[in-house]
């Protein structure tokens, strides 16, 4: 059942699970996915935690203890989420050791309400790294304008980072620049660059969702022919940019200092349109030294019906450019779409965080001990 997943791993694609919950940890399910499904990492986000905590009773014991201590709702959320990340990191520690720190990673996101505040993002990244206190943690920082200098500063302090919410090629280049600048700061400070890792989470399916909607509104034959191509084209051109930056003279100097390349991570790889094959954003984004973080449904679909036929990225760049140009010629602005997606991405995570605050606050009140 896992042949396709093994082939994917053999092609240099690290398989990370885009989900985490206490039940997944305590039931042994995460350990099973690592053992049987070639999962070598975990990513989380505010939406994932909001869903996990609002479903079932897996958090009742900890919530009862937190309620007894009368902690604030924000402190409660950080205690709960960092506990899950710490436990998942411990389960993945053998993978981390075996891959010399490349995989076996668990990502946790800074408070999304800080997405446009550089100073607060840096402080939050330091706090999260301290709270989780595991070497195989990645702190997720959004690739907003304010996030870029926070990435540089956080990397410069030796904290490994998962840069999230990347939609545009221009922003992706800025992210890689921020990473290299951070490594240069770390090197100047005498830190061991071999211990610093990073991935750049380039979002995929949402690009097709937004552009396909606009193509459907046009309704022409040319518009229909362009459906379902923009997201793959965008991601493939991101890989071209990755190859360019990490073969530059600037990178060579850091490479000599034992730095690690910032791997492209394909995020949002579950298809949103039922007309598309469930494994579209897995089968068609196979390239060395990448990560594909999948919801469990996509992981299962890949195990069942994935067609892993080797590298499906390199050698496609001219066609990818043509596919994006075809969309532009139809009057759909690439720049407008990717900015909209970034704005919506931040808003979505802020909304999930607000929902998490509300539901956790209600649970703390329900479980609070009576006075006296």
**pLDDT tens per residue across span 286-327:** 999 999 999 999 999 999 999 999 999 999 999 999 999 999
**Rg (the chain; Cα; Å):** 21
Q: How far apart are CA 337 and CA 333, in angstroms?
A: 6
**Choice among 126, 140, 272, 329 that is catalytic:** 140
Residues 45-98 pLDDT 10s: 988 998 888 887 889 999 999 999 999 999 999 999 999 999 999 999 999 999
Phi, psi for residue 243 in degrees, rounded to 5: -60, -40
Across-strand partners of 282? Answer: none
Q: How far apart are CA 25 and CA 259, in angstroms?
A: 32
Average pLDDT over residues 171-183: 98
What is this structure's pTM?
0.96
Residues 111-129 pLDDT 10s: 999 999 999 999 999 999 9
Active-site annotation holds for 140 = yes
Report the CATH fold assignment for 4-367.
Answer: TIM Barrel (3.20.20)
Domain boundaries, the chain: 4-367
Q: What is the mean pLDDT of the chain?
A: 96
Per-residue confidence (pLDDT) for residue 50, from 0 to 100? 87
């Amino acid at each position: 059942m896992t042949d396709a997943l093994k082939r994917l791993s053999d092609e240099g694609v690290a398989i990370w699970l885009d989900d985490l919950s206490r039940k997944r940890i305590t039931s042994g399910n995460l350990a099973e996915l690592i053992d049987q499904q070639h999962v070598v990492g975990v990513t989380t986000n505010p939406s994932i935690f909001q869903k996990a905590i609002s479903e079932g009773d897996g958090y009742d014991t900890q919530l009862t203890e937190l309620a007894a201590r009368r902690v604030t709702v924000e402190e409660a959320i950080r205690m709960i989420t960092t506990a899950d990340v710490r436990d998942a990191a411990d389960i993945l520690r053998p993978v981390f050791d075996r891959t010399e720190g490349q995989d076996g990673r668990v990502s946790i996101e800074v408070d999304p309400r800080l997405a446009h505040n550089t100073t607060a993002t840096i402080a939050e990244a330091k706090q999260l790294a301290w709270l989780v206190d595991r070497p195989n943690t990645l702190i997720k920082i959004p690739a907003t304008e304010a996030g870029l200098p926070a990435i540089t500063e956080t990397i410069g302090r030796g904290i490994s980072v998962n840069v999230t919410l990347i939609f545009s090629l221009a922003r992706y280049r800025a992210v890689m620049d921020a990473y290299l600048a951070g490594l240069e700061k770390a090197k100047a400070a005498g830190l061991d660059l071999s211990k610093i890792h990073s991935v750049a989470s380039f979002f995929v399916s949402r690009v097709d969702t937004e552009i396909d909607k606009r193509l459907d509104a046009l309704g022409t034959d040319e518009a229909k022919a362009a459906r379902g191509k923009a997201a793959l084209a965008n991601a493939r051109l991101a890989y071209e940019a990755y190859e360019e930056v990490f073969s530059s003279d600037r990178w060579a100097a850091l490479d000599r200092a034992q730095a690690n390349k910032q791997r492209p991570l394909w995020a949002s790889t579950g298809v949103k349109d039922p007309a598309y094959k469930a494994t579209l954003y897995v089968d068609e984004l196979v390239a060395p030294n990448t990560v594909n973080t999948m919801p469990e449904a996509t992981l299962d679909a890949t195990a069942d019906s994935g067609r892993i036929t080797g590298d499906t990225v390199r050698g496609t760049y001219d066609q990818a450019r043509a596919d994006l140009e075809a969309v532009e010629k139809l009057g759909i602005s690439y720049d407008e779409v990717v900015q909209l997606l970034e704005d919506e991405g931040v808003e979505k995570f802020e909304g999930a965080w607000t929902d998490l605050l509300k539901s956790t606050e209600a649970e703390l009140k329900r479980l609070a001990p009576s006075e006296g």
